[in-house]
Amino acid sequence: MTDQLERLNRLPLRTNLRGLTPYGAPQLDVPILLNVNENTHGVPADVRAAITEAVTIAAVGLNRYPDREFTELRAALAEYLGHGLGADNIWAANGSNEVLQQILQAFGGPGRTALGFPPTYSMYPLLAAGTDTGYLAGVRADGYGLSAESAARQVRELQPNIVFLCSPNNPTGTGLGLDVVEAVYEAGEASQTIVIVDEAYHEFAHDGTPSALTLLPGRERLIVSRTMSKAFALAGARVGYMAAAPEVTDALRLVRLPYHLSAITQATALAALHHRVALMADVEDIKRQRDRIVSELQRMGLKPAASDSNYVFFGGLDNPHEVWQGLLDAGVLIRDVGIPGHLRVTAGTETETTAFLEALELILAGHAVQPA
Ligand X SMILES: *Cc1c(COP(=O)(O)O)cnc(C)c1O
Question: To the nearest whole angstrom, how small is the minimum distance from the Cβ of residue 121 to ligand X?
Answer: 4
Strands 113-116 and 134-137: parallel
Question: To the nearest whole angstrom, how small is the minimum distance from the Cβ of residue 189 to ligand X?
Answer: 26
- The interface region with ligand X, picked from 131-139, 224-232, 249-257, 358-366 by CB under 6 A, is 224-232
- The interface region with ligand X, picked from 49-57, 60-68, 226-234, 295-303 by CB under 6 A, is 226-234
Question: To the nearest whole angstrom, how small is the minimum distance from the Cβ of residue 240 to ligand X?
Answer: 4
Does residue 229 belong to the site contacting ligand X (CB under 6 A)? yes
List the x/- string, 145-164, binding to ligand X by CB under 6 A.
--------------------
List the x/- string, 290-329, binding to ligand X by CB under 6 A.
----------------------------------------
- The interface region with ligand X, picked from 12-20, 74-82, 229-237, 343-351 by CB under 6 A, is 229-237
Question: To the nearest whole angstrom, how small is the minimum distance from the Cβ of residue 238 to ligand X?
Answer: 7
Of 166, 215, 231, 245, the residue at the interface with ligand X (CB under 6 A) is 166
Strand order through the sheet with 222-227: 90-93, 240-243, 222-227, 194-198, 162-166, 113-116, 134-137
Does residue 173 belong to the site contacting ligand X (CB under 6 A)? no
- C-beta closer to ligand X: residue 200 or 332: 200
Question: To the nearest whole angstrom, how small is the minimum distance from the Cβ of residue 25 to ligand X?
Answer: 10
Does residue 108 belong to the site contacting ligand X (CB under 6 A)? no
Of 198, 282, 296, 352, the residue at the interface with ligand X (CB under 6 A) is 198
Q: Which of residues 31-50 bind ligand X (CB under 6 A)?
A: 37
Beta bridge partners of 227: 240
List the x/- string, 76-105, binding to ligand X by CB under 6 A.
-------------------xxx--------
Question: To the nearest whole angstrom, how small is the minimum distance from the Cβ of residue 95 to ligand X?
Answer: 3
How many residues bind ligand X (CB under 6 A)? The answer is 14
Question: To the nearest whole angstrom, how small is the minimum distance from the Cβ of residue 356 to ligand X?
Answer: 19
Of 107, 121, 232, 314, the residue at the interface with ligand X (CB under 6 A) is 121
In whole angstroms, what is the distance from residue 90 CA to residue 183 CA? 24
Q: How far is CA 211 from CA 108, 171, 173, 206, 360, in A?
A: 25, 19, 15, 11, 34
Does residue 240 belong to the site contacting ligand X (CB under 6 A)? yes
Q: Which residue has the closest beta carbon to ligand X?
A: 95
Does residue 337 belong to the site contacting ligand X (CB under 6 A)? no
Contact residues for ligand X (CB under 6 A)?
37, 95-97, 121, 166, 170, 198, 200, 227, 229-230, 235, 240
